[in-house]
Every structure is written in structure tokens, then in C-alpha cells.
Structure 1
């Protein structure tokens, strides 16, 4: 096992509650990652933390241990009702909320905390009833959290700690009003443990930290390098006609055990997925309108090697914790440079190595300059060699056809006003 990404600080020397330390040891963790080594000593002393670190560096374990240790150390509020959680964790996506809950259950193995997770797209009544049965740690997306709060399914009067995960993504998705709504209904900031974690601590995220937290300690890990060191990046310049044969050819040559292909649109994702399937590559597709149960099933199939490739839009760029992703393919360069970092961060997690291959196609090549400026290095450019190109099966689509102006939404050519 590669341990070069770990610090010299062990979990045993931190002073964790014995119930938590035993759970950590059961998971096989001995040494902390750098962000765990820097944040946990502060959290165990009750210090508020606004932390920045690369995706896959162990932020989730850090804040879960911090809040659980706090809950074990502090006495419960007298008269606390079963549906009043002691800790609230807000996440931007359903997938991230589910993953945090999964990790929380493992760490609470001996502490016996009641972990509940709520998010849209699932049985509303079932989730509401789970809160009535009792909750110690409540994890969820802000929309569903507010919905249940207004329905009096749970209360915020007994909150000892609050976590805001992927804070920058919360801004991107427009959840900032929801966050402030929930913060205003909790005990004051100086009467709770406050944790904010983000891959990027932008100015607006730092403003939120000072607004909603009490004297937070800023922790940055690997701030000088935006992308993980062990990701091998590469860039090709394919034409529209070359993009799919190149992708299939690279898949056939590299034989990735577990990979993710990102596109900028659902339509392109459908096109890429159909091409991969048509050329005997075990692929599935994950876009924003996929039902939650199917979404979780697809992620499970990738983790269990029932499929080798997941074709995604940016709904999956953050919040997905899938171990063992060896390759990420950017079929389109993203419009937001930060999304490039989050996409390729799906590989090379927890010290492993990985490859990120990007296509600067005709439609999105203009995004390259901003991406390279943001990551502070140029992507290595590779020539498209004939041996990289696959000969696609006749039934498989070769290129995404452009719609005739009369087929555009509204039925009018671009630039022509509607009557």
C-alpha cells in the first residue's frame, strides 16, 4: 500500500475517544493524511476550522471524527427530543450526502450514534419517519433539510456542531440562501463547533466562514498545487470526426479497469455512451435526470467492476467517492476551470496514481487558456497517432451531428426573431 501521501502523525496519538479510535483501527487507518493531521488537533480542542484541501485527501474522515469526538465529550442538552440532532452536515449533492453517511456509519460503529441522511429524489415519507425515530447526526442537501425543518420533522435547538462541506460548490449551485436560513435557526456560532471544508477557499467562501463561524482557523493543504501530484495529465486536439474514434482507441489500448468520461452536455453524454456500448465497451451513463436509486446502482456497478466506464455530465464531478478510478477522460474541456480540477480529482485518490486525458475539441478548445492559468501549468500536448484511432463499428455513431437551424428550440434559425 502506498503511504507516501500520509503524514507522520498517527490517529493513536491525537487523543481521540477510544470508541472512535477503535473504529478507525478497524478501517485499517494508522497515519493521518496532511489535512487530518492539521485539522484534527484543532477540532479536538473545540476550535472552529475552515479547511482547504485537494479532493480525496481525507476531509470527510477529519470532520466526522471532529464532530463525533465533540459529541462524546459534551453532555447532551437536558430534555433533548429524539428528533433534535446534535450535529448537522450540509452537502451540495445527493451523492456526497450518501457517501458522508456511509463513512459516518463506519466511524460510529462503537459510539452507536443514530445517523440519518435526507435528500431529494427518494421516498419523502420514509426519510421523514426516520427522523422521528431519532437522530444524532443529520446529513443532507439543503433543500430537503429546509423542507423537513418547516414540516417540524426535526429541530435545530440542540445543535452542538455544524459542517458545511464543498462550500464553493454550494455557491455554484445557488444554495447560499438555504445555508443562511439553517444557520439562523441554530444556536449562536460561539455556542457550537463550526467546520467548513472546500476544495477552493475563494473570497466568497472566506466571507461566509467569518459571517457564520466564530473565529475560524484557516487550514490549507497543498495550496500551491491545485491538481494532485500523482495525476498524469495529457491533452489531444481532435477534430469532431476524430474525437470518438480517439476515445474508443485509447480505451482499447489502455484497458482502464475503472474510468469516468466527462461531457459538458447530456446530449453529448448519450452520444458517447452509445458509441462505447456499440464498440463493446462496458459503459453506463450518469446525468442529472437519472433517478436516485438508479444513480446509486450505477455507482455500485462501477465500484464492483460490473461496468468499466461511467459517462457523466458535471453532476458527478464533485461529491463522488469512488475508489480505484484509474482514468478520467474529459471528452469536453469544462467551461469552469475549477470543474477541471474536480473532474480529474476522481482519480489518484488517497495517494494512488491516475491518468487524466483531455480533448481540446473544436467546440471547447477556447476553455484551455483559463484552465491552464488556474492550475498554473500547461497540459502536456500529445499528437494523435494512427495507432491511437479505433475503427468504429458501422452501427456506432461517429460524430455528433449539428442540428439544422430549423430544428433549434423555437423552430427558427439562429438570429431570426420569433413572430
Structure 2
């Protein structure tokens, strides 16, 4: 292994890395840093989780110098908010012993804080294309002096339709610049992009000769499972020997939230990251997962490239990804920084054709996934699950679990529960026409039991929700009124 000091990295950066126990460089870092430090344009390609961020981040920070002038001098463009936060944290570590300031610019958060940091003179900007173009269009972000430009996860930007935005950004940065492009996969459009915006780039592929298309330190387990049994299987997998932090990927945000609720009900410490959550919620959930306060994270693909946590032991594909590239990025959340991991994929009967394509592309040699249920003996032996493990940790009585569910139910359910708490009253049979002015008035006991304002829609209360008498009683009053008028005539 080669140390960062041996690669010509400045001592203050070496010390910053050493403070986190990072001393030796990964292959992609070892190959790219010596070329990037003098200013060579680079295309860096390596499997996810192999240290690409430091591969481009160290040259950027070092080339800016110890005390760069205020104003944006370096721009790192990333496809997702989660990845923006992750790259920002890594660059913040690299600059911890320098006067250089880093700011993260991305959507879902208020403009004011980001604008204040830009006005304070931040030299390095990490951002997503949409927010970058937005602030540049408002003349709040000046990129004309950005001589260090990095595109991270460039293939994902193409998938998300950011190509036009990338072109706009390149029109705003300095014409004479040092450009780096990093990604795990390198499709044709990325190569074309590099030719347009880079100057004689060198393409670096950091691969292990002993590896196939997938990382050798990740065990891949493929099961054909019934959708109604997946939750039970997952709950048992989470209790396997050596299971630590686990990421579960779902296809939709609704499925993600449903699984968060289900696993939480089963007693697991679980959080979620998906599109229906606010940005603050997503960041809190991610921070709790990184800190170990939450051990299970349920996510959609929006987070697949922003989860850079070294100690993830398991990745579970609750639903099979659409293609082999997405599979690699999901599975790559485990087995990072040279550690081992397990990637488990559930294939529905309707998705066997997707698995056939992934199996062929990644050369798994497993055209037929093993049919698996929560009671299958091979599930326990494959994943080191202790015998007798069941899919529920909680010992809460059923009544308590029902109460928890009712708190998240409709307003009518919560109102009924509140009424029960106030007096533990016995439910009454609904009676048509009871109450003031009715043909069959309620008994004295019933009147005493009825809470004020209750039963406003079923005829038992005095008033409607709008404060006016119920429609049936208004009609009866009009009839009595018209009858008495006729008699008086």
C-alpha cells in the first residue's frame, strides 16, 4: 500500500486524513492523485466505494493553496442531494487545517444559509445542477473564476437528464481550467461529454485483476420470494450473525415508507430516505444512520450514491433494480473500504425477465433464483441466521400496538380514542332522531354521557360541524312552524 505522503500530498492534508485513521491510498487514489496534482485532466473510473472522492478532492484542495482568495475557485457537481452532503463532508475534512471554506449548494433547503456562505467567500462549492444554475441565474453564484471543475457520478447525471444543465454550467466556469470526471461506469455519452469539455484527458481504470464485474468482497445472494413474505424474511435477515448497518432499497417511495412502518412495528430501529420526506428529515435520518443511532435504512434509489458508510454489512434489494448498473450501485453500498459485505436481492415472479438481463450482464451464472420463504432451511444457513429466529423483536401487547397504529389513523379514530381516554365511556347504539327536537329523545343517562359537541354528523349532537342545526332538525322545525302558523290563521 502507498501512503498519501508518498503520493506528494501536503502534510496538513495528510494529518487531516490521519486524524480519521486514513493513511494508505486506494488504487484509484494512487493512480489519479499524482497525475491530477500537476493539472492533468482525468477520467477516473472505479467501482463504487473505492475512494473516488478523495481521488479528486485532494488535488482540488491542494491546487488551491493554503490561503486561497475569497470567491469560488473550485466546483464539484454531483447528481443528488445526499451525495452533495457526503462530498461536502469529505472536502470539509481535507480543508480542516486550511483557511479554505467549503459550501454545499442543493435543493430542498432554504437559500439564505447557502447564499450567506457564498457571500462570506467560500472557495469550494459542492452542488447539484438545478440549485447551481438557479443561484447563478440570480447572480448570487459567480463561477467565472472556477478553475477546478469536477463531475462526480457523471453517468447518473445522464440518467437523471442533467446533460443540458451540465452544458450550461460549463459555459459559466473559467475557460482555462483543470477538469476531472469520475464515475463507476463509463457509457458512450460520458466519453463524448469528456471530449467536449476536457483537454486531452487520461482515462484511468482502477480494477482488481482478481475481480469480475462485481466486487470480490461482496457475497451476492439471489432469492425468488413472494411479496407477502418479504417483510418476514427481511426481519429475520436483520437478526443474522454479524448483521450491522443495513440498507434496504425499494422501487417506490410509498413502498419505502410502508416498510419503515412495518419494521418499526416489529421492533427494529429503522429510518427512511425517500422523495416524500422533506430534505431536513432525510438529512436527519441519514445522519442518525451514519452515527449508528439507526441500524436499518430504507431508501429509494435517490440515496443509492449518497450513502458512503464504511461499516454497512448488508444491502437488501426489496425489489429488483431495473438494470445491472443500478444493481452495482445499490450493492456497492456494502463492502466499502476493503471490508466484506452481503447483497441480498428478492426477485418477484413478474420480474424474472429483469433478473435474466442482470444475470447475463454481470455474469452471475445463476439464471434461476432460489425459491425462498421465511421458513426455508437454506435461508438460515446461507445468511447465518440463528435457528428459531422469528420476524418480530417487540414484546408489546396487542392493545399497545393497536394504540400506536390508531395514533397514525384518521382524525375520526383519534377523536374516538380521545373520548375513550376522557371517561372510558361505553359505546352507545346510534339512534335515529335522538337529540333536541327529535321524535325519540335520548334518555337522561344518555344525555349525561354525551360529550359536548360529539356525534355531530350522526344526528346525536345539537349542532352540525358548521355550528348550524342539523338538516333533519331544520326540516322538522319548519314543518312545526308552518303547522302552528296554519292553526293560528
Provide the TM-score with structure 1 as the length reference.
0.85
Q: Give the match for residue 334 of structure 1.
A: 321
Deviation track 1:287-328 (CA, whole Å, cap 9, x = no partner) reads: 112111111111122122222211111111112212311101
Which is greater in Rg?
2
- 3-state SS in 2 of match to 1:252: coil
| CA separation of 1:297 and 1:391: change in aligned 2, threshold 3 A | closer
Contact kept, 8 Å, 2:74 with 2:148, in 1: the verdict is yes
Q: Give the match for residue 74 of structure 2.
A: 87
2:197 and 2:294 map into 1 onto residues whose CA distance is 43
Q: Give the match for residue 214 of structure 1.
A: 199
Q: CA shift at 1:16, angstroms? A: 1.9
| CA separation of 1:161 and 1:253: change in aligned 2, threshold 3 A | closer
- Structure having greater relative contact order (Cα 8 Å, sep ≥ 6): 1
Q: Give the match for residue 62 of structure 1.
A: 55
RMSD of aligned Cα (Å): 2.2
| CA separation of 1:253 and 1:26: change in aligned 2, threshold 3 A | closer
Q: Among 179, 182, 188, which residue is 1:194 paired with?
A: 179
Across the two proteins, how many residue pairs are aligned to each other? 381
Contact kept, 8 Å, 1:55 with 1:342, in 2: the verdict is yes
The alignment status of 1:378 with 2:350, answered yes or no, reads no
Give the unaligned 5+ runs of structure 2. 380-388, 403-489
Moved more, 95-104 or 276-285: 276-285
Deviation track 1:3-45 (CA, whole Å, cap 9, x = no partner) reads: xxxxx22211222223323323333322210000100110012
Q: Among 34, 40, 53, which residue is 2:33 paired with?
A: 40
| CA separation of 1:18 and 1:334: change in aligned 2, threshold 3 A | same
Q: Give the match for residue 42 of structure 2.
A: 49
2:257 and 2:352 map into 1 onto residues whose CA distance is 21
The alignment status of 1:128 with 2:115, answered yes or no, reads yes
| CA separation of 1:186 and 1:232: change in aligned 2, threshold 3 A | same
Give the unaligned 5+ runs of structure 1. 1-7, 397-419
The alignment status of 1:245 with 2:232, answered yes or no, reads yes
Q: Give the match for residue 25 of structure 1.
A: 18
Q: Among 272, 275, 281, which residue is 2:268 paired with?
A: 281
- 3-state SS in 1 of match to 2:275: coil
Q: CA shift at 1:165, angstroms? A: 0.3
Q: Among 356, 360, 372, which residue is 1:369 paired with?
A: 356
Contact kept, 8 Å, 2:310 with 2:335, in 1: the verdict is no
1:18 and 1:240 map into 2 onto residues whose CA distance is 54
The alignment status of 1:314 with 2:301, answered yes or no, reads yes
Q: Among 282, 297, 311, which residue is 2:284 paired with?
A: 297
- 3-state SS in 2 of match to 1:92: coil
Q: Give the match for residue 168 of structure 1.
A: 155
Deviation track 1:161-186 (CA, whole Å, cap 9, x = no partner) reads: 10000000000111111111010122
1:195 and 1:139 map into 2 onto residues whose CA distance is 14
Moved more, 249-258 or 387-396: 387-396
Moved more, 364-373 or 249-258: 249-258
1:29 and 1:323 map into 2 onto residues whose CA distance is 12
1:92 and 1:162 map into 2 onto residues whose CA distance is 14
Q: Give the match for residue 142 of structure 1.
A: 129
| CA separation of 1:243 and 1:47: change in aligned 2, threshold 3 A | same
The alignment status of 1:103 with 2:119, answered yes or no, reads no
Q: CA shift at 1:391, angstroms? A: 6.1
Contact kept, 8 Å, 1:333 with 1:365, in 2: the verdict is no
The alignment status of 1:182 with 2:169, answered yes or no, reads yes
Q: CA shift at 1:381, angstroms? A: 4.5
Q: CA shift at 1:360, angstroms? A: 0.9
Q: Give the match for residue 205 of structure 1.
A: 190
